[in-house]
């Protein structure tokens, strides 16, 4: 069943806003066996909406339309659609009731919102929960799904409404299985070389390599008419990928490296504490983005100044003056300091030069020392990360988290990212 | 001059990869006065490429095509284009020479690369530097620009080749001026209501409202044939927007709230220190994303456990046991503690319940106390932020930074985000 997506909004064709929702919708459909053949972005322009929608209705078996459904004056989709399809706009009392209810709850009027209740004649409201409700319109036997752009609302519409209705219309002909492996420490081409044979070995199997800095997403997809055969090939492919990538896989699908580290710490009763300099809180932010992280995370310090390194971590003035704040020795004392002062089982410390300024010939921009203190010992490595300030910070935080993950699973002190040659 | 963009690749319509290059190209053109009216994503499918390209040639004055120009087997754009336009593929000796040169330099063959030298008859190579050279094909008087997808190569092609050639074909008829105001503390519809009159008052003036959580981007665009008139309307519109939004504007165009706070601190010689609980380092991460922030940022602490609040900030055990870690009193002691212990001029503290767990009837998920300690006094407010864990954290960090910005500019203790009704 071939469908297409139309996204409406001046901000999309002027490039002011990056649209992520179309990719999301396309992927949801793809993974459910429904192929999208075309995605079109057009502006808030009634003629463009008319032309694009009529061609789509002729060409495709279903159409998904997003954008321009909100309350502000540039939201003109409903009006343009009604006109293009020769239908009146009709006041939907269900939606109007929800708006009035929300106004009572907030004890203030919601100006402009009444507009959300005027839908093209024949529209069936898809999800009466939430105010920017999506709707379904069947025109010349082609289902047109109008969906709100807000990600959570869109996801709810896709899962609860669109997919079940598509399945009601026709079962997907293709079985599709897909899994994404998040990989850190190998480049896209290094991974590609590993899988050249695997990909050509089976019909319907494809492997995609998508950099998602600092990780690379490796996506395996198997499609076919025979669902048993698809499952077989998929199982074999995933097993091969797991064997070949091994320790470099930091998470699978929606999981994250930080959530994985959290689960490992919970399992062994460990508690983590952080001492950050050049990452400035990024490591803490990633760790505390995991719900329930208070069970395995005690504290972090962001010691940006030398004074704070002495006061919060007990770094000796001699170390700072002799070796500098960005050094093997300072990183070691930082990790030991935060572990000792917090009574945590594990201390991670990062100190480096994120740039753009501050580099020297001996310690160029991108030089970062990471230390991991465990109950057994403290390991320290020097790294040289490429790229912008943002990239250096992201690579440093990822390397530190991944190092702890590797230690907790494999009991090893070898980091996933290759250290710089001279480590002291 | 109306143009459109076609992006080719299976990964785009299956939603596996987020395409950012089309937005970039569209924005480059838009800001140079060339309007893009449509962006289409299709798969690596000769029929789709043919259909989409022929329609575009009929409809538009120029077409930009990206994707599928590489050396691997799924790159079929050149072949499909040649067939669709009834042209042969011809070996381009200039490109072949470059490939052979690269092979000599690398001392290894580049398998598959020769394919890059086979271009549709009539193609004019746009940029002989670099191997994945773009090319121009003029078909039925419509220029078709074929561009590589790699961001740096694409940018070079746009700036050095595409824009000058479009200007050679026709000067942009339209003058365009555009500015984006980043707004925090007002909703999209609250802002829209303010500008209803302004937008309808002038031809060629449009205002867009794009939620970029936790901020709303308000983009003013003025287009017109008379560049003097455009500049006049643009100046008037920006002035009106600045007057109406006033203190709610946190940054303009590429600037950020955190960079703005940094400049204000530098100007008054102030130094900042942070004490974070529920934001877990997010505030520190934003502050230290600004290059040179070490000049005005001293330290941060992420006090997740009660123990760490006592040890790192000197919060009294009585305060914690009597009022709890998420309270007016704890926030106050956190801000005072970090300011006193660091000798910084300003202390910002955040403590709250980001969720999804941990809420109570008195302090539901989203309850956050923020305190700002200045040389004069310490102000504390209770907020109730809506949404997911991620949203609560983002709103809390933004509110704290914005509060300091408002204090530094306007000498006020009134935050931009509306506090919850009961503040103690």
Q: Is the pLDDT of residue A401 over 80?
A: yes
Record: contact B284-A281, CB cut-off 8 A: yes
Q: What is the DSSP letter of A300?
A: E
φ and ψ of B137, to 5 deg: -130, 125
- Alpha carbon separation from B266 to B270, B291, B339, B377, B408 (Å, rounded): 6, 13, 17, 21, 11
* Amino acid A187: pLDDT: 80
pLDDT of residue A129: 60
**CA-to-CA distance for B404 and B335, rounded, in angstroms?**
13
Inform me whether the pLDDT recorded for A424 exceeds 70: no
Instruction: Please give the Cα distance from A176 to A199 (Å, whole number).
Output: 16
In chain A, residues under CATH classification 3.90.950.20 are 257-410
| Cβ-defined contact of A70 to B188 (cutoff 8 Å) | yes
Amino acid B27: pLDDT: 85
What would the pLDDT profile of B232-269 be if each residue is shown by its tens digit?
A: 999 999 999 999 999 999 999 989 999 999 999 999 99
Tell me which residue has tokens 């449009």.
B206
* Distance between CA atoms of residues B216 and B253, nearest Å: 12
What residue ranges of chain A are covered by domains with CATH 3.30.70.2860?
175-252
Q: How do strand A215-224 and strand A205-212 relate by DSSP bridges?
A: antiparallel
Is the predicted pLDDT of residue A121 greater than 50, yes or no? yes
> Domain A2-169's class?
alpha beta
Per-residue pLDDT of A98-117, as tens digits, reads 888 878 877 778 778 888 88
Whether residue B356 and residue A291 make contact (CB cut-off 8 A), yes or no, is yes
* Cross-chain Cβ contact B15/A37 below 8 Å: no
Span A175-187, pLDDT tens digits: 889 899 999 999 8
Q: What's the rounded mean pLDDT across residues B133-147?
A: 93
**What is the H or E stretch that residue A337 is in?**
helix A328-342
List the single best residue of B4, B7, B16 to mutate versus A (max A Cβ within 10 A). B16
Partners of A25 on chain B (C-beta within 8 Å) are 15
Q: What is the pLDDT of residue A71?
A: 83
Query: How close B361 comes to chain A (CA, Å)?
Result: 17
Residue A417: exposure state from Cβ atoms within 10 A (0-12, 13-18, ≥19): buried
Round the average pLDDT of chain A to a whole number and report it: 91
Say whether pLDDT at A280 is over 90. yes
In angstroms, what separates the C-alpha of A37 from chain B's closest C-alpha?
Answer: 6
The percent of chain B in helix, strand and coil, each rounded to the nearest 5, is 45, 25, 30
Beta-carbon contacts of residue B403 (< 8 Å; ≥ 6 apart):
B348, B370, B372, B379, B381, B415, B416
Residues of B with Cβ-Cβ distance to A40 under 8 angstroms: 38-41
Pairing of strands A346-352, A272-276: parallel
State whether A342 and B12 contact (CB < 8 Å): no
To the nearest 10°, the Cα dihedral for A144, A146, A152, A157?
-40
Predicted confidence (pLDDT) per residue in A11-22, tens digit: 889 887 777 788
DSSP codes joined into one string, B376-401: S-EEEEEEE--S-HHHHHHHHHHHHH
How much is the pTM? Answer: 0.86
Could you identify the residue written with the tokens 């899988």?
Answer: A195
The boundaries of every CATH 3.40.980.10 domain in chain A are: 2-169
> Per-residue pLDDT for B150 more than 70?
yes
Distance CA B147, CA B163 (A): 13
Average pLDDT, whole number, for chain B? 91
A134 pLDDT higher than 60: yes
ipTM of the complex: 0.86
Helix pair angle (B328-342, B306-313), 10° resolution: 40
Closest residue in chain B to residue A52, using alpha carbons only = B38
Report the alpha-carbon distance of residue B53 to residue B81 in Å, rounded.
8
3-state SS assignment for residue A119: strand
Task: Determine, for residues A48 and B37 on separate chains, whether the beta-carbon distance falls below 8 Å.
Answer: yes
Q: Is B216 buried (19+), middle (13-18) or exposed (0-12) by CB count in 10 A?
A: buried
DSSP per residue, A188-237: HHHHHHHTHHHHHHSTTEEEEEEEETTEEEEEEEEEES-HHHHHHHHHHH
pLDDT at B423 exceeding the cut of 60: no
Look at residue B131 in the predicted model and tell me its pLDDT: 47
CATH number belonging to domain B257-410: 3.90.950.20
pLDDT, tens digit, 9 for 90 and up, residues A307-357: 999 999 999 999 999 999 999 999 999 999 999 999 999 999 999 999 999
Q: Are B341 and B323 in contact (CB under 8 A)?
A: no
CA distances (Å), A58 to each of A55, B43, B198, in order? Answer: 5, 19, 40
Helices A389-410 & A257-268, crossing angle to 10 degrees? 30
Instruction: Looking at B214-292, list the stretches that DSSP marks H as alpha helix, in order from N- to C-terminal side.
Output: 227-245, 257-268, 282-288
Residue B398's pLDDT band (boundaries 50, 70, 90)? very high
Cβ contacts (< 8 Å) between B324 and chain A: which residues?
A: none
Which CATH architecture describes the domain B175-252? 2-Layer Sandwich (3.30)
Residues of A in contact with B343 (CB under 8 A): 307
According to DSSP, residue A162 is labeled I
The string of pLDDT tens digits covering residues B166-220 is 988 776 677 889 899 999 999 888 898 888 888 888 888 988 888 788 999 998 9
Predicted confidence at residue B132, as pLDDT, reads 60
A15: left (phi over 0), alpha (psi -120 to 50) or beta: left
Instruction: Give A222 to chain B, closest Cα distance, Å.
Output: 13
Residues sharing a CB contact under 8 Å with residue A174, sequence separation 6 or more, in sequence order:
A33, A35, A223, A224, A225
* Amino acid B424: pLDDT: 47
Sign of the CA dihedral running B232, B233, B235, B239: positive
């Amino acid at each position: 069943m071939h469908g297409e997506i139309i996204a409406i909004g001046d901000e999309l064709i002027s490039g002011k806003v990056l649209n992520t929702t179309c990719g999301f919708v396309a992927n949801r459909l793809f993974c459910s066996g429904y192929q999208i053949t075309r995605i079109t972005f057009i502006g808030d322009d009634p003629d463009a909406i008319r032309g694009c929608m009529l061609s789509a209705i002729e060409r495709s078996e279903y159409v998904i339309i997003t954008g321009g459904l909100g309350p502000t004056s540039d939201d003109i989709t409903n009006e343009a659609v009604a006109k293009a399809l020769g239908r009146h706009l009709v006041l939907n009392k269900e939606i109007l009731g929800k708006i009035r209810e929300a106004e009572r709850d907030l004890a203030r009027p919601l100006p402009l919102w009444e507009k959300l209740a005027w839908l093209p004649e024949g529209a069936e409201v898809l999800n009466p929960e939430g105010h920017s409700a999506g709707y379904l319109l069947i025109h010349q036997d082609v289902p047109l799904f109008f969906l709100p752009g807000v990600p959570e609302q869109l996801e709810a519409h896709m899962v609860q409404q669109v997919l079940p209705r598509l399945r009601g219309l026709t079962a997907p002909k293709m079985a599709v299985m897909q899994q994404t492996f998040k990989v850190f420490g190998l480049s896209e081409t290094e991974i590609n070389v590993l899988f050249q044979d695997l990909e050509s070995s089976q019909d319907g199997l494809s492997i995609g390599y998508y950099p998602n800095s600092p990780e690379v997403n490796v996506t395996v997809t198997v499609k076919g008419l025979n669902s048993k055969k698809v499952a077989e090939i998929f199982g074999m492919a995933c097993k091969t990928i797991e064997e070949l990538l091994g320790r470099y896989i930091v998470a699978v699908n929606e999981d994250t490296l930080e959530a994985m580290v959290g689960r490992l710490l919970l399992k062994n009763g460990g508690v983590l504490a952080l001492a950050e300099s050049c990452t400035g809180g990024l490591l803490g932010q990633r760790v505390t983005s995991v719900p329930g992280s208070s069970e395995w995370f005690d504290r972090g310090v962001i010691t940006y100044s030398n004074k704070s390194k002495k006061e919060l971590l007990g770094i000796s003035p001699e170390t700072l003056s002799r070796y500098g704040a960005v050094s093997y020795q300072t990183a070691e004392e930082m990790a030991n300091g935060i572990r000792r002062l917090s009574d945590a089982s594990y201390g991670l410390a990062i100190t480096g030069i994120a740039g753009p300024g501050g580099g020297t010939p001996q310690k160029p921009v991108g030089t970062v020392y990471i230390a991991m203190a465990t109950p057994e010992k403290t390991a320290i490595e020097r790294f040289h990360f490429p790229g912008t300030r943002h990239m250096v910070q992201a690579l440093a935080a990822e390397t530190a988290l991944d190092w702890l993950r590797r230690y907790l699973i494999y009991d090893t002190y070898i980091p996933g990212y290759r250290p710089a040659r001279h480590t002291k």
